[in-house]
Amino acid sequence: MKLRMVSLLVLCCLAGSWRVQAADWPQFRGPHRDDVSAETGLLKQWPAKGPSLLWTYRDAGVGYSGPAIVGDRLFTMGARGDTEFVFALSISQQGKQLWATPIGPKFDWKKGNEWNQGPAATPTVDGDRVYALGGQGILVCVDVGTGKLHWRKDLPAEMHAVVNNIAGSPQGIGWGFTWSPLVDGGHLIIQPGGPDGTLGALDKRTGSVIWRSKGFTDGASYASPIAADVGGQRQYIQLTNSGLTGVWAKDGKTAWHYAEEYHGVVIPTPLVHDNKVYASASGGGCVLVSLTSAGGKVKAKKIYANNNLTNQSGGVLLVDRHVFGSAGIKGWLCQDFATGKITGRERRRLGAGSLTCADGRLYCYGEEEGTIVLVDANPTKWTMRDWKEYGRFTIPEHSKLRKVSGKIWTHPVVANGKLYLRDQDLIFCYDVKAQATSGANPLREGTRGGAGSR
């Protein structure tokens, strides 16, 4: 009896260890897909040389997949040789690999692709399972603890998936499948694209198809789907080259569409706040659309559409009713969410890049040199010529595996007091937790690129 009780206790502890905590980052752009963390107690200002480097992992392979963090584990993807893998690392064991599961062939094409190869989506962790999408459109569901394969679905072969092939990429597969899967209740929301439906819902346990959005058939974009409640009804929202579209969660039927033609590669994920949807992408500028619900129908109405903030790939986020993001040669911008007016700008001290937000600070990661800057997320600290900066540093080394025109496009992640930066095969883990004033922190002493690196 005592043995059975001990065994039950162990099983309960193991099961509980996979429950997402407040400071975890279980999917692309965090728990709410808005790139804003609820974590507090972080460093408000960095030392002159930046925060302490805890460890470096050197075998992540090629690709732009970001990290998903749950507890002591980091989940991401990369191509090693000709095969893409999803794998798990132990954060406390200096980035030790715990398991790696093959997904499928490496995404690439030989003639004309100077930009990307390998997977670019971020794994999604839900309970005891990890969902990972390879660059060729192969979607896998694996066990969190062991990496054991539960199911596998080849989206082009089984679901006639089609990626928008804008800007000279191959017909049908484009620049690869880059969106990140979304778990919502028992559904796994995907974006196969094509004539059978842009969006789809799978049973997350079995991978079986529940519905396709037959009234919404754009080719898949490079943006990720998000969930929202409008008028008390659940829907999924997707940005494609034809604009913004919402479909009902129950059956995938189109709830609304706002037409806004984008001529470039559509990458950034939209923002939803107060029944309003904001989107920004290259080749189309930014838009804000209001959603009103009456009689079971939703109406989308334009509030503004302009070129004030055109984000290419680094994403945008919303803090204190202001949108922050990079807009290429226009610099890093602070934009009033309600009016679209630019209220702050910095274009001298950091080139274009990606960002995230935690504990009142923006972490802005430059795509050229891998310089990251800690910036005040308070819009009143931004002016038309400056931002309030609290430290900066550059990653200690750069990948030699990037394509000739490829840049550092993996978004930064802050989770459980640590900052994660990736450049292809290299993943850097930094300590950004604010420390007590007395006593030394053993993790901070002698760990800058120290013996735990690999």
Q: Which amino acid is at 218?
A: D
Q: Is residue 374 part of a domain?
A: yes
DSSP bridge partners of 441: none
Q: What is the pLDDT of residue 165?
A: 87
Q: Is residue 430 part of a domain?
A: yes
The Cα 268–Cα 103 span in angstroms is 25
Q: For residues 53-77, give the mean pLDDT.
A: 98
Burial 182-212 (b: 16+ CB within 10 A, else e): bbbeebbbbbbbbebbbbbbbebeebebbbb
Q: What is the pLDDT of residue 383?
A: 93
Q: Is residue 348 part of a domain?
A: yes
Domain ranges, residue 368: 29-63+317-408+410-454
Long-range contacts of 385-391 (CB under 8 A, 24+ apart): 385/345, 385/346, 386/344, 386/346, 387/332, 387/334, 387/344, 387/346, 389/349, 390/44, 390/45, 390/46, 390/361, 391/45, 391/46, 391/47, 391/48, 391/50
- Which band of pLDDT confidence, cut at 50, 70 and 90, is reported for residue 18? low
Q: What is the pLDDT of residue 169?
A: 84
Q: For residues 222-251, give the mean pLDDT.
A: 96
Q: Is residue 277 part of a domain?
A: no
* Closest alpha carbon to 175 in 140, 123, 231, 219: 219
Q: What is the pLDDT of residue 118?
A: 98
Q: What is the pLDDT of residue 168?
A: 77
Q: Is residue 79 part of a domain?
A: no
The Cα 374–Cα 390 span in angstroms is 5
Domain count, the chain: 1
pTM of the model: 0.92
The alpha helices in 186-273, defined as continuous H runs, are: none
- Which band of pLDDT confidence, cut at 50, 70 and 90, is reported for residue 231? confident
* Closest alpha carbon to 112 in 414, 446, 404, 441: 404
Q: Is residue 442 part of a domain?
A: yes
The Cα 7–Cα 267 span in angstroms is 47
The Cα 268–Cα 89 span in angstroms is 27
Q: CB of 89 within 8 A of CB of 57?
A: yes
pLDDT digits (tens, 9 = 90+) for 251-281: 999 999 999 999 889 999 999 999 999 999 9
Give the number of other Cβ atoms within 10 Å of residue 392's Cβ: 17
Q: Is residue 81 part of a domain?
A: no
pLDDT digits (tens, 9 = 90+) for 126-184: 999 999 999 999 999 999 999 999 999 999 999 999 999 887 788 899 999 999 999 99
Q: CB of 325 within 8 A of CB of 317?
A: yes
Q: What is the pLDDT of residue 283?
A: 87
Q: CA-CA distances (angstroms) from residue 106 to 81, 131, 162, 251, 278?
A: 8, 18, 18, 33, 33
Beta-strand runs (E) in 284-331: 285-294, 297-306, 316-319, 322-326
Pull the structure tokens for residue 335.
């934009």
Q: What are phi and psi of 380, to 5 degrees?
A: -70, -15
Helix then strand then coil, % of the chain, to nearest 5 = 5, 40, 50
pLDDT digits (tens, 9 = 90+) for 316-372: 999 999 999 999 999 999 999 999 999 999 999 999 999 999 999 999 999 999 999
pLDDT digits (tens, 9 = 90+) for 379-406: 999 999 899 999 999 999 999 999 999 9
* Closest alpha carbon to 115 in 158, 166, 59: 166
Q: What is the pLDDT of residue 436?
A: 63
The Cα 21–Cα 416 span in angstroms is 9
Q: Is residue 424 part of a domain?
A: yes
Pull the structure tokens for residue 432.
């950004």
